[in-house]
Amino acid sequence: ERSHHAPRDDSPPKPELVVRFSYDAFGRRIAKEVQHASGPAELTVFTWDGDVLLMEERFEALPRERGFERGSENARYAMVREDAQDAYSLPVAQRMHTLDAEYQWTRASLYLHEPGTFVPLARLDEKLVEPAFLATGTDGR
């Protein structure tokens, strides 16, 4: 008779998935970050119109390479303000998270509701069709 025993290890198991949620002062979910044990992190940003969910945008963490920092394609965009001469004027559209260099936009869902209600009518999905990053070698391939 033989018995097999697993080696004793007091270290806690590593999770396969870690999910973090962020909320604003009104209790609305504004972000969800999903980190897989292997693979890039995913970020979902929620946009609200009062208490009605207007849009979800999904981003994927850019790959990290040792000794090489790759910037987001979004970094080339600047914020447009109502009064370009006044640095403190309201932005035309406040979208600072899309200017972050750590994540690249991948897709979005826009929710349409019955006027004056929370009743959803439709969801419009938009997805990145072409790759977020293209590279060629010195030989053009």
> pLDDT tens, 74-112?
555 566 667 778 776 666 555 555 445 577 778 899 999
Specify the pLDDT at position 3: 45
| Measured CA distances, 110 to 12, 34, 80 (Å) | 40, 21, 22
Specify the pLDDT at position 92: 59
Flag whether 87 is in a domain: yes
Flag whether 83 is in a domain: yes
Flag whether 7 is in a domain: no
Flag whether 139 is in a domain: no
Q: Which domain holds residue 75?
A: 17-63+70-127
Sequential pLDDT tens for the chain (141 residues): 444 455 566 777 778 899 999 999 999 999 999 998 888 889 999 988 888 899 999 988 877 665 555 555 555 556 666 777 877 666 655 555 544 557 777 889 999 999 888 888 999 998 876 654 555 556 555
- Residue 106's contacts (CB-CB under 8 Å, 6 or more residues apart) are 58, 59, 60, 127, 128, 132
Specify the pLDDT at position 2: 44
How many domains does one find in the chain?
A: 1
Flag whether 5 is in a domain: no
Query: Could you tell me how many residues make up the chain?
Result: 141
Flag whether 101 is in a domain: yes
Report residue 130 as tokens: 């072409």
Please choose, from the candidates 106, 104, 108, 77, the residue with its C-alpha nearest in 3D space to the C-alpha of residue 93. Answer: 77
Q: What is the pTM of this model?
A: 0.61
